[in-house]
Amino acid sequence: MPSAQIVQSVLGQMPKILELTTLTNHVEILCRCKSNEERLFYILYANKEHLASRELQRCISNQTYAALLSNKSNMSKGLLEAYPNAPVIFKDTLFVDFLSLPKKHSETKLKNGLIEHMKQFILELGKDFIFMDQEYKLTVGASTYKADLLFYHRGLQALVAVELKKTKFHPRDLGQLEFYLEALDRDVKRSNENPSIGIVLCPEADRVVVEYAMSRSMSPTMIAEYKRILIPQERMQQQLNEFCNMFLDKE
């Protein structure tokens, strides 16, 4: 007679997905997310980014789910072709509420604030970003130019230049950024690294203007907005519902 074996019931086996992040994170996701799609996203995102509880809370508050899965008309063809995973790496909107910026502020105040709170800014950007320098000098011919902030992305193995603007996006901002990327690729990028990426970070951007500006750009560039304060809970829920309805309609 074969020896008896103790077999754990299916109900008693912990689903693998529960092992992807901490119990505290699961409780946070369960309590604050309204749809299964959103819950699954944050479980996978928390696992990928190794998010602690406080970091996850911030991601949920600033709508990382909607930001990473929204339409990417703010990214150039060059960025999407060179980096197919860009839509799930780079956010359309960054929240800099930790700076306590007044409505009227200078680019210098914005830059100095980000540098002073670089750890929090990198958590907002994504953990694979490494800060390299501010006002990074680029010498072209007899002239010297300065890129506002220069990062390195470990996962993409690429330099990332961030140009800060205190005013609404203008197409000329893109031309300036593309010039900086050309200088970085020719004079700074190493042979084992991938093409440099550029981000224009501004407080506001007309989506139609952005789409026109991006449509013929073959440089790896994108336009992102920064918000001084977090979106109120009611407005956040409305936007999330609108996104979920759009997602379901496509199915």
3-state DSSP of the chain: CCCCCCCCCHHHCCCHHHHCCCHHHHHHHHHHCCCHHHHHHHHHHHHHHCCCHHHHHHHHHCCHHHHHHCCCCCECHHHHHHCCCHHHCCCCEEECHHHCCCCCCCHHHHHHHHHHCHHHHHHHHCCCEEEEEEEEEEEECCEEEEEEEEEEECCCCEEEEEEECCCCCCHHHHHHHHHHHHHHHHHCCCCCCEEEEEEEEECCCCHHHHHHHHHCCCCCEEEEEEECCCCCHHHHHHHHHHHHHHHHHHC
- Amino acid 205: pLDDT: 93
CATH class label, 72-232: alpha beta
Please report, in tens digits, the pLDDT of each residue of the chain (251 residues total).
555 555 444 444 446 777 888 888 888 888 888 888 888 888 888 888 888 888 888 888 767 777 666 667 899 999 999 999 998 889 888 999 899 888 889 999 999 999 999 999 998 998 899 999 999 999 999 999 999 999 999 999 999 999 999 999 999 999 999 999 999 999 999 999 999 999 999 999 998 999 999 988 899 999 999 998 765 444 545 555 555 555 455 45
pLDDT attached to residue 8: 47
This prediction has a pTM of: 0.69
pLDDT value of residue 88: 84
Domain ranges of the chain: 72-232
Predicted pLDDT at 50: 85
